[in-house]
């Protein structure tokens, strides 16, 4: 599956960022060997207004693979003024865009793989 391959996931992230440049978030595909399992294809996203560890990963269930965003728990609260909340909202919109793009690319790859398998 393509979402299990680091090089493929990195290329998808690079494609997304080239068409949606961002100065507010930092996106990193983990440097590890991707093996089948729930932690494969993990993409870490650093938000500018929240130090919460945030990542996107493919989860496989009876519907097939789908990308989800995970926000790890925080040990402390944080306060934001209106401008900072607006920036956080923009960061979250970018995060949603990356997640949706990874889902789209996974579905395209699965259709292409099914088509080539039937030949």
pLDDT score for 32:
52
pLDDT score for 119:
59
Structure-token pair, residue 8: 């493929």
> Where are the domains positioned within the chain?
2-117
For 2-117, CATH gives 3.30.310
pLDDT score for 50:
82
Q: How far apart are CA 6 and CA 64, in angstroms?
A: 19
- Rounded to two decimals, the pTM is 0.84
pLDDT score for 31:
56
114 CA to centre of own chain: 24
DSSP class of residue 68 equals E
pLDDT by residue, tens only, the chain of 119 residues:
666 677 888 899 999 999 988 777 888 888 555 455 444 567 888 888 788 889 898 888 898 889 999 998 888 888 999 999 999 999 999 999 999 999 999 999 888 877 766 65
pLDDT score for 15:
94
């Amino acid at each position: 599956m393509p979402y299990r391959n680091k090089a493929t996931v990195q290329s998808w992230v690079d494609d997304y960022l080239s068409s949606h440049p961002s100065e507010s978030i930092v996106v990193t595909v983990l440097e590890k060997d991707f093996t089948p399992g729930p932690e494969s294809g993990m993409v870490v996203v650093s938000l500018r207004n929240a130090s919460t560890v945030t990542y996107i990963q493919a989860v496989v269930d009876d519907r097939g693979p789908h990308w989800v965003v995970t926000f790890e728990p925080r040990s402390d609260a944080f306060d934001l003024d209106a401008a900072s909340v607006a920036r956080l909202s923009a960061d979250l919109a970018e995060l949603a865009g990356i997640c949706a793009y990874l889902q789209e690319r996974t579905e395209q790859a699965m259709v292409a793989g099914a088509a080539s398998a039937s030949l």
